[in-house]
Every structure is written in C-alpha cells, then in structure tokens.
C-alpha cells in the first residue's frame, strides 16, 4: 500500500492505496466521485478526462500515486460553488449531449482548451477534442457548446477587466 495525499476539487484527501490503483478508480471507488466515467481500456475514449494541476489528463492512464501531492479537478468541481460553469451551461443550451456518458470528460477536455485558447476556431475545437469520443451527438453541437462557452467566458473576462 502507498500513502497518498491528493487535493480533489479543493479538498484534501489522504488514503492508502495499492500502487497500481488508477486515478479514475481512486476518484470513483474511494471518493465516490462517479461523474468521471470509464468508456474504454485503451485510453481512446476520454470519458475519464479530469484536470491534474490544471491540465487535462485521462484518469485511466494515471496512477493515483502519480497524483500524490497534486491537485485534481473533476466534473463535480466545475460547479462546486452552485453556479454552472459556462461549458456546462453551453452543453445544455446548445444540446451538446444526449446520453451524458461522455459529457463530463468532454467538458473537462474543452475547459483545458479554453484556458489556453479563449477564442478557438472550429477546427481548433475539433482537434482539441480528438481524444474524446461521443457516439450520440455527431460532435456538431459539442462544437457549438464550446463556442458558446468561449464567447461567455470572454465576455465575463471583459467585464472583470
């Protein structure tokens, strides 16, 4: 067993885990944060995407011990203060989800993009989401949802500035 200390959605968690425990299993099984999903076993689908120190990672490809001493944000942390994140709002407004299984990973991957590129082109959005599969939406409205959020976040940034 390995002792780890991980900050998840702003809250510090201490645990003893098997060294081989995947971060996604730690989040889902140990912490009960089931918003992060598992859709494949080869790191293709991206349903498990979370942020590790602010950058998106596939939590099925990171060991919990690798996150020791670091900070993780999951979908549950995106609306922690009660208000929806612009991406969450955008996915609903633009009908960017259907079954909802890929949605948390999709939102986390898109959030990473918008942190680094506040005004992405359609092609840039599509490329940024290449590691996230969706089988329901045909991606069309996911692109629009990200554009919605980008617009809103830029407006908010302008207001704050």
Partner 1 sequence: MITCKTSREIGGMGHPIKRKEDIRFIQGKGRYVDDIKLPGMLHMDIVRSPYAYARIKHIDASEALKIPGVVAVVTGKDLEKYNLHWMPTLMSDTQMVLPTDTVMYQAQEVAAVIATDRYTARDAKEAVRVEYEPMKPVVDPYKALEPDAPVLRTDKEGKTDNHIWHWEVGDREKTEAVFRSADVVVKEHMHIPRIHVVSIETCGCVADYDKVNNHLTMYMTTQAPHAIRTVIALVAGHLGLTEEKIRVISPDIGGGFGGKVPVYPGYVIAIAVSFLTGKPVKWIEDRSENLQADSFARDYHITAEMAATREGKILATRFKVLADHGYTDAAANPSKFPTGLFSIGTGSYDYDTAFMEADAVYTNKPPGGVAYRCSFRVTEAVHAIERLTDSMARALGMDPAEFRMKNFIKKEDFPWKSPTGWTYDSGDYHAGLKKAMEVIGYDDLRREQAEKRKKGELMGIGISTFTEIVGAGPSRDFDILGIKMFDSCEIRVHPTGKAIARFGTKSQGQGHETTYAQIIAEELGIPAEHIQVEEGDTDTAPYGLGTYASRSTPTAGAAAAVAARKLRDKARKIAAYLLEVSEEDLEWEPGKFYVKGAPEKAKTIQDIVFAAYTNHPPGMEAGFEATHYYDPPNLTFPSGAYICVVDIDKETFEIKIRRFVAIDDCGNIINPMVVQGQVHGGLTQGLAPAMYEELIYDEDGNILNGTLMDYLVPTAVESPRWETGHTITPSPHHPIGAKGVGESPTVGAPPAIANAIVDALSVYGITHLDIPITPYKIYEALKAKGVIED
Q: Which residues bind partner 1 (CB under 8 A)?
A: 18, 20-21, 25, 28-29, 32-42, 44-45, 47, 74-76, 78-79, 84, 88-89, 91-93, 95, 97-104, 107, 122, 125-127, 129-143
Tokens 């293709």 -> residue: 44
Nearest residue to 38 via CA among 29, 30, 47, 27: 47
> Contact, 94 vs 143, CB < 8 A?
no
Question: CA-CA distance, 60 to 84, in Å (whole number)?
Answer: 26
In the complex, the smallest distance separating the C-beta of residue 54 from partner 1, rounded to whole angstroms, is 18
Q: How far is the CB of 128 from partner 1 (least distance, A)?
A: 8
Cα–Cα nearest to 56, from 65, 40, 43, 68:
43
Nearer to partner 1, 4 or 25 (CB): 25
The pair of structure tokens assigned to 111 is 């959030």
Q: Is the Cβ of residue 2 or residue 161 nearer to partner 1 in the bound state?
A: 2
The CA–CA distances, whole Å, from 14 to 35, 49, 87, 98, 137 equal 20, 22, 30, 36, 38
Least distance in Å: CB of 114 to partner 1? 15
Q: Which is nearer to partner 1, 30 or 160 (CB)?
A: 30
For partner 1, give the closer residue by CB, 67 or 105.
Answer: 105
> What is the smallest separation between the CB atom of 117 and partner 1, expressed in angstroms?
15
């Amino acid at each position: 067993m390995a002792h780890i200390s991980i900050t998840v959605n702003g809250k510090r968690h201490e645990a003893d885990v098997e060294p081989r425990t995947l971060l996604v299993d730690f989040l889902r099984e140990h912490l009960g944060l089931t918003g992060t999903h598992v859709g494949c076993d080869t790191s293709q689908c991206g349903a498990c995407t979370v942020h590790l120190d602010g950058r998106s990672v596939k939590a099925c490809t990171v060991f919990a011990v690798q996150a020791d001493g670091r900070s993780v944000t999951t979908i549950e942390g995106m609306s922690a203060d009660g208000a929806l994140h612009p991406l969450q709002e955008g996915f609903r407004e633009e009908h960017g989800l259907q079954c909802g299984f890929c949605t948390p990973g999709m939102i986390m991957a898109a959030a990473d993009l918008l942190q680094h590129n506040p005004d992405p082109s359609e092609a840039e959005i599509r490329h940024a989401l290449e590691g996230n599969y969706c089988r329901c939406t045909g991606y069309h409205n996911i692109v629009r949802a990200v554009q919605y959020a980008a617009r809103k976040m830029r407006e908010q940034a302008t207001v704050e500035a």
